[in-house]
Amino acid sequence: MHLTEGTSDIQISHLHWDHIGDPSLFPNAEIILGEETQTMLANRVYPANPEGTITELPKANKCTFVSFDDPSESSKRFKIISPLGTFARAVDLFGDGSVYLVDTPGHCPGHMSCIARIAEGTFVFLAGDLCHLREAYDPGTRLINRKMYEDIETARDTVRRLAALNREVASMVVILAHEVDRLQEGMPLFPKDIREWAIEMVEKRKK
């Protein structure tokens, strides 16, 4: 889950319980999800589906689904930026280049990542569960584990795109949701500000 400072948006990378937190704490926030997430909401939500593993989203929150292909429907307010770097599909969330939502499929339907500009020319790539270990994208030698991905071939393609972007863009820090290495590197956790730390990490990368 990514809360965007100064706005009422919550962007959720995907619907797994360890990524949605408690949106009911932000009843006025608009929840932004990938378009294909709708299939999970239709079929896998408990208690409508007693076998469902997805928690119902609070009814108070407005949900908006990002369509990467068709800006005329639910996501008409997002500017399509496709391709963005090595990724085929993305949107500019506010139309000002500060936050991009990137289609990063494979882990589960509708999985999205987020690129935030934290300073002039400096970015963080909040990957969610695009992959789960740093070695998968840096240096990119480790194959991802089939068990963690609903569509393994698509996930492998997505990880290759991340590895390529990471090689190309030195002024970017990738953060996987479960990347323990970042904690060992002193990454501040919410609600602390990540920007100063991320700029330091970029400076290190450029050396």
**Which residues would be at the binding site for Zn ion (CB under 5 A)?**
16, 129
Residue position matching structure tokens 């294909």: 36
Q: Which of 9/129 has CB closer to Zn ion?
A: 129
Separation CA 93–CA 58 (nearest Å) = 22
Does the bond joining 105 to the residue before it have cis omega, within 30 degrees of 0?
no
Q: Which of 16/182 has CB closer to Zn ion?
A: 16
C-beta nearest to Zn ion: residue = 16
Nearest one of 153, 105, 146, 152 to 129, comparing CA atoms: 105
Q: Which of 20/201 has CB closer to Zn ion?
A: 20
Nearest one of 169, 168, 172, 201 to 186, comparing CA atoms: 201
**Smallest gap from residue 203 Cβ to Zn ion (A):** 31
**Smallest gap from residue 51 Cβ to Zn ion (A):** 18
**Smallest gap from residue 90 Cβ to Zn ion (A):** 20
107, 130 contact by CB (below 8 A): yes
Q: Which of 18/200 has CB closer to Zn ion?
A: 18
**Smallest gap from residue 154 Cβ to Zn ion (A):** 15
Contacts with 75 (C-beta within 8 Å, 6 or more apart), sequence order: 35, 64, 65, 66, 67, 91
**Smallest gap from residue 52 Cβ to Zn ion (A):** 15
Q: Which of 63/130 has CB closer to Zn ion?
A: 130
102, 90 contact by CB (below 8 A): yes
